[in-house]
Structure 1
Amino acid sequence: MMPSYFFAHGAPSLVIEEHGYTDFLKQFAKGTAKPKAIVLFSAHYENQVQSIGAVADTYSTIYDFSGFPDQLYQMTYPAKGDAALSKQIQSLFEVQGIPSRLDHERGLDHGSWAVLKLLYPDADIPVIALSVNRSLTNEQQYQIGRALAALKEQDIMIIGSGGTVHNLRRIQWNASNPEDWAVSFDHWLQSKLETWDLEALFNYREEAPYGTDAVPTTEHFIPLLLAMGSGDRSRKATRVYQNYQMGTLSLGCWQFE
């Protein structure tokens, strides 16, 4: 069965950076089976109704950022969609009473393509982009991911792209080490993920140390819960990589089996 993954995507410039995390992402495909398709929840694709990418042919590339090197605006990630898979996902949501809609127009934002370009640079795997909705409860987020668990049996990889510690207002541009509070939050998170403590995780903003510092807005944390939910059958979480940049951005990967 194909595992699900959560990948932090840091800043949009991740795709042109060179450090331990980008090296990890570039080598990732060598140690995992190639998926038949990728279903990806991006923190930067927000909608009040669960949206399912259903482009007819090739996704456009969205440059949803400003002030970065020109090189980034020349990059593309021409992944194709999969109409049959999009409709299957809609059916899985329907069975669980989750309202959804097919989106035939939206391209891939940097939360999707910046990560995928490092993982699978050839863009030769069909991609289904899925939205996030920060107005839902954390339990509802988990249940959305859980509704897609059957896809893993079809060798389809489910990815959440966001960030566990993602505080842009407190960035330390030249920091060589993470802030202590950022590490403290991620240590707490690791213990709750590895023990699959859903009650604590659903209430992380109140129970975790520095919960609101690490997660000042929730859209980057939601993809973790979505990816985790798809692993509900086995309930095994493994931290595959962890590092930081600029003091307050966590660069990590979690695997859910």
Structure 2
Amino acid sequence: MMPSYFFAHGAPSLVLDELEYTTFLKSFSTTIPKPKAIVLFSAHWESRTQTVSDVPSTYSTIYDFSGFQDELYEMTYPARGEGSVSKEIEQLFKKHGIESAIDVERGLDHGAWAILKLMYPDADIPVITLSVNRYHTNEEQYRIGKALAELREKDVLIIGSGGTVHNLRRLNWRADVAEAWAEAFDKWLEDKLLAWDTQALFEYRAQAPYAVEAVPTNEHFIPLLLAMGAGDGNRQAKLLHRSYQYGTLSLSCWQFN
């Protein structure tokens, strides 16, 4: 069965950076069989209704950032959609009592294309993107991911793309080591994920050290719970990579089996 994954997508410039993390992403595809399709929840697509992409051809590219290198605005990731998978997702949500809608126009934001361009540069795997809703409870986020778990049996790769420590106001552009508070939050998170302690994770805001600093807004944390929910069957978590950029921007990858 295909594992589900959480990937940090970092800053938009990640796709141009030469880091331990980008080296990890570039080699990731060699560690699993080639997926039939990629289903990706992006922190940069927010919607009150759970929305599923169903583009009829190839995706356009969304440049949802400003002030970065000119080269970034010339990049594209012309992956195609896959209507049959989009419809299957819609049916799974219906089966589990989750309201959803279809979007046939939206392109890929950098939460999707920046990591996919590093992982699967040929853009030859169909992609279905899904929105996140910051107003759901953490339990509901997990349940949404869990609703899609059976896709893993069909060689579909489920990804949550966000960031565990994501506070843009606390970035130190000159830092070459991680801030202690960022590491403390991620270490607490590691302990709870490895123990599959969902109750603690659902209450991370109250329980985790430096939670307010690490997660000032929750849209980047939500994809972790979605990916974890998709791995609910065996409840095994594994940290594949963790490093930091700009002192506090966490670059991590979690695998859920």
- Structure 2 match to 1:110: 110
CA distance in 1, matches of 2:224, 2:63: 23
The alignment partner of 1:252 has SS state of strand
The structural deviation recorded for 1:122 is 0.2
Letter in 2 for 1:77: Y
CA distance in 1, matches of 2:156, 2:103: 20
- Structure 2 match to 1:186: 186
> Moved runs in structure 1, 4+ residues, more than 3 A?
none
The alignment partner of 2:45 has SS state of strand
CA distance in 2, matches of 1:6, 1:31: 15
The alignment partner of 1:225 has SS state of helix
1:80-95 aligned at under 5 Å gives the runs: 80-95=80-95
Letter in 2 for 1:213: E
Letter in 2 for 1:57: S
Deviations 1:204-250 (A, max 9, x none): 01100001110000000000000000000110000000000101100
The structural deviation recorded for 1:145 is 0.1
- Establish whether residue 121 from structure 1 lines up as the match of residue 121 from structure 2: yes
- Structure 2 match to 1:197: 197
- Structure 1 match to 2:246: 246
CA distance in 2, matches of 1:236, 1:31: 17
The structural deviation recorded for 1:86 is 0.3
- Provide the aligned length of Structure 1 versus Structure 2: 257
- Structure 1 match to 2:229: 229
The alignment partner of 1:196 has SS state of coil
What are the ranges of 5 or more consecutive residues in structure 2 without an aligned counterpart? none
- TM-score with structure 1 length normalisation? 0.99
Deviations 1:2-44 (A, max 9, x none): 0000000110000000010000000111121111100000000
The structural deviation recorded for 1:105 is 0.5
CA distance in 1, matches of 2:240, 2:50: 28
CA distance in 2, matches of 1:212, 1:196: 22
What are the ranges of 5 or more consecutive residues in structure 1 without an aligned counterpart? none
- TM-score with structure 2 length normalisation? 0.99
- Structure 2 match to 1:138: 138
- Structure 2 match to 1:23: 23
Deviations 1:125-147 (A, max 9, x none): 00000000000000000000000
Identical-pair percentage: 65
- Structure 2 match to 1:42: 42
